[in-house]
Amino acid sequence: MSVTRDRRSESRQRTEVEGILSTPGPQSLTIPCRLTEVSDHGFRAAHDCAALIAGTQVTAESPLVGKVTARVIWTAIMGNHIESGFYILS
C-alpha cells in the first residue's frame, strides 16, 4: 500500500459555498459550482463540466472568494462527480 504525503503548503478551509465559473472567449461557458475547500491562493470546486482541463483559465465568483481569475491545476472525474483544483491568479 502506498501512502501519499500531502504536499500543500497552505492550510485549507472546508466549505460548502455556491459559485459560478466562467471561461472566456467566443465558446465561453458558464458553469455552476460548489466550492468545497479554499485557501489563500486557491480553491477546490465540484461541478459538472468535464471540459475544465488543467491550464484552463476561468473567472470564478462566489461570496467567499469574490470575483477572481484562476487557472485549473487538476480535474478529477469519478463517474458523474467532477472536481477541479484552482490556483488564483488575481
Query: Global pTM?
Result: 0.86
pLDDT one-digit tens code per residue, 29-66: 999 999 999 999 999 999 999 999 999 999 999 998 99
Say which residues have a Cβ less than 8 Å from residue 53's Cβ, sequence separation at least 6: 72, 75
Which domains does the chain show, CATH number per domain? 13-88 (2.40.10.220)
Band (pLDDT 50/70/90 cuts) for residue 73 is: very high
* Cα angle: 63, vertex 68, 73; to 5 degrees: 110
DSSP 6-31: P--SS--EEEEEEEEEE--STT--EE
